[in-house]
Amino acid sequence: MLKVDNIHTYYGNIHALKGVSLEVNAGEIVTLVGSNGAGKTTTVKTIAGLLTAAEGGVFFNGEDITELAADKTVRKGIALVPEGRQIFPFMTVQENLDMGAYSRTGDADIKYSYQEVFTLFPKLWERRKQQAGTLSGGEQQMLAMGRALMAKPKLLLLDEPSLGLAPILVETIFTLIQEINRQGTSVLLIEQNARMALLIAHRGYILETGKIVLADQADKLLNSDEVRKAYLGE
């Protein structure tokens, strides 16, 4: 479904990604694990069209989307849940979800998406008239995920969904990611919490200073001495 082929991305003179290649197949959860500054967020921003690769390519269902702007990639079927959630704090929960559906037409189809989101996240139904900025951190993360799902993506990019959440909420968010995947959405998961990410993923990539240094089935990475020492604190 997604093929990232040898991309190089820069911030000014800073060479942030140095030939990153990865793939996500239909139906998979794939995780990209790495420490702060490794280039994880740069990778998803390049896929989503918020940054443009200087070299290499991004392909989605066989189509070259390397130079497409973010609004166009959404229409192709890719939705990003950004790091830090970035909800609209002075809009209601309902209005935030409305923003997620901006690129779609067909009232009946959109109405069905609301039902799906509220089934996944019942708290959002309870809070639908509430200002989004007054939600708890966990509820805001659910809203950011719900807003992305309103675009009806084929591929969901999740950037650090567990950041700043209490451990019990982290478990809830990861369970919801698995459910979203079971319902037919492929997922590329960016995470510092390597253990949790690898426990729910099918495959994983390890990113260090802008380069993929390891790629394997998630269970094999979990049992790798190198990964356990560097990322799992063992």
User: How much is the average pLDDT of 109-129?
Assistant: 88
Which amino acid type is present at position 122?
P
Span 2-231 CATH architecture: 3-Layer(aba) Sandwich (3.40)
Domain ranges of the chain: 2-231
Residue 110 pLDDT > 90, yes or no?
no
Strand spans (E) along 46-185: 55-60, 63-64, 78-81, 155-159
> Cα(78)–Cα(158) distance, rounded to whole angstroms?
11
What φ, ψ does residue 55 adopt, rounded to 5°?
A: -140, 160
Give the mean pLDDT of 70-81.
94
Flag the least confident range among 148-157, 165-174, 195-204.
165-174
Instruction: Specify the pLDDT at position 84.
Output: 81
Residue 111: pLDDT band with limits 50, 70, 90 = confident
If you average pLDDT over every residue of the chain, what do you get? 92
pTM here is 0.92
Distance, CA of 169 to CA of 187 (rounded, Å):
19
